[in-house]
Chain A
Amino acid sequence: MSDFDFISVNTIDEALDVLARPQKVTVLSGGTDVMLRIHDGRLEPSLLLDVSRIEELKGIKEKDGFIEIGAATTINEIGASELIKDNAYALYEAADVFADPNTRNRATIGGNITNASPGADGAPALFALDGEVLIKKKGGERRIPVTDYIIGSYKTVLEPDELVASIRFKPCKNSAFIKIGLRKAMAISVETVAVALFLDENKIITDCRVAFGALGPSTLRARNTEKVFVGYTPNEETFAKAQEVIAMDIKPRDGLRGSREYRFSTAHVIMERALIKAYEK
């Protein structure tokens, strides 16, 4: 481990001032990924900026018809929120199976999407919920869909002087998340799926979003597959059709945790199960 400086700030403005410096700054939120990357030598920071004490970055609230989560809100806070449980069940379930209780007490939702690990458990739920990321920098801000925010394995569009402030999404009453891990806790995902459905009064699907995690270099939306269900219900026919088009959306890879073959053959299985779970909620 090399020497580095450490700055802890209490406000977003202070953080943005530090980020505006010419020096390379690594933002530390919960630290559950940053510390590992330092440990195994993938990251050699020169300045760590601790944002975990910024109260403005914490909390879950309803605002302008959206659910808004501060970027430094921990996974356990999300898992304990009735607002999330009622309006974003997929995210609630993801929080429930995320690593272990100790990690969930530290890890934050902003850190989860910004680290952009292919196996991030928070990201697929936010992809399915059509989350939007609020990004701030000194003298400005922008809001972009989370699906545009993560662009690859450990890659986002975040500029060096920017900070993720919050994530928001529209409430969804029918969503679900399923994870396959190699043990029942503290498991990095072999694959995950999140489904968000909107139904009309006849329980016909009007909007369907399916996101997969850990299948490829980054979290992805299965845009061809999800279209199959719009105007229908989850049933044998739509499942069969989905299975035909799913190959257009997913290109699983071989890895330490699972083979390409395994990931491909189980992706539609957990998607079907998540669709049924979300539909029947």
Chain B
Amino acid sequence: MPIYGDGNKTEKGYTYINRFFPRVDARDKVTGRAKYAGDLDFPGMLIGGALFSPYAHAQVTYINVDKARQIPGVHCVMTFEDLKKEKSWGYYTFMSSRLRYQGDVSAIVAAEDWESLQKALKSIEIEYKELPAVFTPEEALKPGAPLVHENDPECEGNIWSHSRYKVRKGDVDAAFETCDHILERVYRTDPVEHAYMETEAAVAVPDTTASGIMTVYAGCVNPFFTRRWVADVLGVSRAKIRVVQQTVGGSFGGKEELMGLTASRAALLASATGRPVKMVMTREESIIASTKRHPFTIKYKLGTNNEGKIQAFQAEVIENVGAFHMHEFMNFRAAVHAAGVYEIPNVKVDVYGVFTNTVTAGAMRGYSSPQLIFGSEQLYEEMAEELGMDYMEFKRLNMLKQGGTNACGQVMDAPIILPEILDKLFDKTDFENKRKAYLNQSDTLKRKGIGMAMFYRGCGLGAEAPDASAGSVVVHDDGTVMINSGLVENGQGMKTAFTQIVAETLSIPPDVIHFIGVDTNTIPDSGITAASRTTVMGSQSVKLAAEELKGYLLETAAMMFHATPEAVELKDGMFKLIGVPDAVIPFQVVANVHHWTGQQAGVMRWFKPPHLDYDMKEGFGKAFPTYAYGSVIAEVEVDMQTGEINVEKITCGHDLGTVINNKTVIGQIYGGVLMGQGYAIMEKLLIKDGIIRTDNFDTYMIGTSMDVPEIDAVLFESDDAAGTYGAKSVGEPSTEGVAAAIISAITNATGIRIRRIPINKVDMLSILHHSNDDTVEGGQARLKSRTDL
């Protein structure tokens, strides 16, 4: 398989994609000129703030805001009593007297400045009655447990009914009867924070004219969803809300729920005061009230025959979704991917979410895969060990191959380049020799380890939702081109990728192309910018629009050449009469004539991928149009006396299909590796009785530049027609296997199996010390060999 950068750069024959082009937003960002929502200022603008719950679960028994309203500079104090309805379309409450987690809000304030705002929030007289609470699914599922939502038709006790998804293939019960080996294990993951640099920020600007349109400028990642939140709280139509996306300081899947709530609360205050209101979450507010990566408890049962062929895979995936939730569709993805990239004849997966009085869970880079790959890859290593087999032999024996069927019975008809990826990475890292050598380090205080994970990811939304989007391309009379999309730049590089794709489609230099960015009044709702769908699927509509526009421009050029459109081509910004060397007209000249002769100068197109035949109810069928494959090799050193884990090197290979911009891809991968490392060995979110104790970056440990390991990213390309120009996803694949590989390497170094992440060095030492202790909590440590220190 071709590897990008191995001298095959022009193999695919593209001019403007499949190569580096500087990010179109880089200059503004590095010079500090980019405008984030928090940077905006409007005449008469007020500052908004919210009163968050001091308890994990409480009822407000008394509230009086008279004193707060008297504070000089305070313009508006609103409480849950002032709302027409508390609950939003997205289940969360805008404000409420019943506070179901620490991120719930009972009152909001708008004031002239930050100081009077803080005084007002402190002056609100409020009394609470603490309510019995549940914090873990174990507690929440006990008979008689306090209910997070009573009388809710969407709940069975604390289980969220809508969140139940499954996969069924074959008959696991019958298959387990005939298995020679059966292994049951429980793996757990804890929540982690997105840690975007910019916190949630919005400015709501009311319009006092008859049209009454509320404009919201926000660092939102799904402007059409933000519009939905704001329209809902104000009780007005979509047409009365205009959301303009400002530069976003990071998303990683987050900034949906708290962003929508922040924009809504700012809009409420703007509506009440008739003045613009800016609301910016502090870091502490952002951490306590924003969603986290779903904590999973995964109960596995795995059966093989004596030869090591997996016969049956069963998993029950229980998510702690916190107090509110709007991501039931994640569980479709989780169900499909739970068994990993293996061919297994009998599969049964059940996924469901449980409400608790703790921080809410939401989309985060990987959308269930980082948890599932961690669990299943260690499970397969454990099974191999049980069988007395080398785990790579076991994994290769059961690996999914082209023409085979995955866990939900989808026939894998596209190429699966995983064997090539593994061969290349193993060769680069000397994986097999190191792995065997590292098994004999019993005398060393600092032990080396090497480990791996392999995985695949369904590209785009798949059968989860229609992966449809709008894109438009407009040519101006001076030959500049403006593109727009219903999907957005979240920092992932989509504006640059789309610019390159339109340049390639039209065959004009990218520097005449301008991407305007989302204003919900200019383009149809194209759903969420998520699921690594944007370049792969979302750019299809822009490509279609560019192709159509190109047709019109060719007609104009043909008219100028006195030829037929078929006789004309557009190449590198020049219209040419095919076969006539000197017959050339520059793009901008044709564009000018195009305008003044009244030809169609703009096209908006809609793209919806072919229907997928997937049965959501039975959990079987074609789940995704295509899959991206990848593997990560981690090399670590563990200090057996202090528990320090040093990730020395990450080598990873990803199936990119077609690389659109190699440096953007590398950037995604480097960031993904650092996030994956944090998920394995650093990012402990400490929550005590529902209250987050690590609410800023002095206590919540994300990696610094000093923590970045050496990273070697190998970009594989393949032939697969599903994505735009054959592109596949990388934003999420770049992070999803990293934690699994690091944990695998730690096991190679120490001989100890780690069944819960994240851990840090304190946990690591505790695991090392207690690994011979049968009473270790939660199955955390495994009771095996070589732990005499």
Contact = CB atoms under 8 A, between A and B. Distances in A.
Q: Are chains A and B native binding partners rather than an unrelated pairing?
A: yes
Interface of A: 1, 3, 100, 180, 182-188, 190, 256-259, 261-262, 265-266, 269-270
A81 B697 CA distance: 30
Contacts of A185: 704-707
A188 B698 contact: yes
B54 interface: no
Contacts of B704: 100, 183-186
B682 A262 contact: no
Interface in B660-686: 682, 686
A180 B642 CA distance: 8
B434 interface: no
A262 B762 contact: yes
A100 B704 CA distance: 10
Nearest to B688: A256
A182 B642 contact: no
7 cross-chain pairs, A with B, having the tightest CB-CB distances, nearest first: A184-B706, A185-B706, A269-B641, A185-B704, A262-B762, A182-B701, A258-B762
A262 B706 contact: no
Contacts of B699: 188, 256-257
Nearest to B284: A40
Q: Main SS of the interface on chain B?
A: loop
Interface of B: 115, 118, 641-644, 682, 686, 693-694, 697-699, 701-707, 760-762, 765-766, 769
A85 B25 CA distance: 44
A266 B765 contact: yes
B769 A182 contact: no
A184 B707 contact: yes
Contacts of B703: 183
Contacts of B698: 188
Contacts of A1: 115, 118
Contacts of A256: 686, 693-694, 699
B761 A182 contact: yes
Given A1-B115, A266-B641, A266-B643, 12 more contacts: A1-B118, A3-B115, A183-B707, A184-B707, A185-B704, A186-B697, A188-B699, A256-B694, A257-B699, A259-B762, A265-B765, A270-B642
Contacts of B760: 182
A180 B769 CA distance: 18
B123 to A, nearest CB: 14
B644 A180 contact: yes
B765 A183 contact: no
A262 B765 contact: yes
Nearest to B703: A183
Nearest to B704: A185
B639 to A, nearest CB: 9
Contacts of A261: 766, 769
A118 to B, nearest CB: 14
Nearest to B768: A265
B706 A259 contact: no
A28 B118 CA distance: 24
Contact of B769 (A3, A100, A187, A265): A265
A234 B11 CA distance: 63
Nearest to B708: A184
A180 B703 CA distance: 15
A182 B707 contact: no
B164 to A, nearest CB: 37
A183 B707 CA distance: 7
9 contacts: A182-B682, A183-B701, A183-B703, A185-B705, A256-B699, A259-B762, A261-B766, A261-B769, A270-B642
B766 A262 contact: yes
The residue in B643, B705, B707, B761 that gathers the most chain A C-beta atoms within 10 A of its C-beta is B761
B51 to A, nearest CB: 16
A180 B702 CA distance: 16
Contacts of A187: 701
A202 B46 CA distance: 74
Contacts of B697: 186
A183 B642 contact: no
B364 to A, nearest CB: 20
Given A256-B693, A262-B643, A190 B762 contact: yes
A190 B694 CA distance: 15
Contacts of A266: 641-643, 765
B711 to A, nearest CB: 16
Nearest to A258: B762
A269 B766 contact: no
Nearest to A268: B641
Contacts of B643: 262, 266
Nearest to A266: B642
A261 B115 CA distance: 43
A259 B115 CA distance: 38
A263 B641 CA distance: 11
Contacts of B762: 182, 190, 257-259, 262
A184 B765 CA distance: 18
The residue in B115, B642, B686, B706 that gathers the most chain A C-beta atoms within 10 A of its C-beta is B642
A185 B765 CA distance: 21
A259 B684 CA distance: 14
A166 to B, nearest CB: 29
Contacts of B642: 180, 266, 269-270
A257 B698 CA distance: 10
Contacts of A259: 762, 766
Contacts of A184: 704, 706-707
